[in-house]
A and B are shown apart, each in its own frame.
Chain A
């Protein structure tokens, strides 16, 4: 049978992949995709905990699923704003490579 730990490990592995992508890649769009992977890994472990805690009515904990719904909404808004910033950045600098964007570097 599938245990809670299996889901948590898969979720942790997906988060690690997204984390490594955000650390290693130098293209802003790919970094944004890696951030999406990390958000979704968090959602997976939340839904696994929701299914794990079956209440007295014999149903999963739906409070967690409402929370996941909010996370998905905020993530969609975040992607829209992030991509708009990338478009504005590309207009002024003609690049999406983070090593070319060092104005704020100390």
Chain B
């Protein structure tokens, strides 16, 4: 992965991620989130994880984003009006987030393997769907079935929650 591409996609992801938080209009936030996720998918592919990158685009860039936009349009949300900002709460939130980031950078700075570059791969990972699939159905078959049940329960729960008259 050329250095320049890594920084382009990382900056793209972070700038649009910050725009999600800053924007007052929920539709603009959702569209910024798509670009942020696409930058993240590019970073996954730069780490030779093609399968994860593809499902990132499919699941987040496609399904989750359509769901967000659909709900925003359904509820007819406008850009929220500027309310009186609760300054102590906002300052507290920023301080906690900054303290968290300082901790993360301290830990990463003192983590010895973090200074190393990635070791080269001796085989191509272009067929990693095959490898992930083998692992998924051999070693992780039971968790996979449980996840299937979880998605079923979630979809039934969504239907129950969004019925018109609640008994």
Interface residues of B in 49-105 (CB under 8 A from A): 49, 51-52, 55-56, 59-60, 63-64, 67-68, 71-72, 74-75, 77, 80, 83, 90, 92-94, 96-98, 100-101, 104-105
Q: Which residues of A contact B72 (CB under 8 A)?
A: 29
Q: Are the CB atoms of B60 and A36 closer together than 8 Å?
A: yes
B5 CB to closest chain A CB (Å) equals 9
Q: Which residues of B contact A52 (CB under 8 A)?
A: 113, 116, 118-119
Chain A residues proximal to chain B, CB less than 8 Å: 1-10, 12-21, 23-27, 29-30, 32-34, 36-37, 40, 43-44, 47-48, 50-52, 54, 57-60, 62-63, 65-66, 68-70, 72-81, 83-88, 90, 92, 96-97, 99
Tally chain B residues at the interface, Cβ within 8 Å.
84
- A1-B117, A66-B135, A74-B147 given; A30·B14 CB < 8 A: no
Choice from A15, A58, A70 contacting B147 with Cβ under 8 Å: A70
Interface residues of B in 8-59 (CB under 8 A from A): 10, 13-14, 17-18, 20-21, 26, 29-30, 33, 36-37, 40, 43-44, 46-49, 51-52, 55-56, 59
Q: Are the CB atoms of B17 and A14 closer together than 8 Å?
A: yes
Choice from B26, B118, B150 contacting A27 with Cβ under 8 Å: B26
Choice from A19, A29, A34, A92 contacting B68 with Cβ under 8 Å: A29
Q: Are the CB atoms of B96 and A23 closer together than 8 Å?
A: yes
Q: Which residues of A contact B20 (CB under 8 A)?
A: 17, 21, 30, 33-34, 37
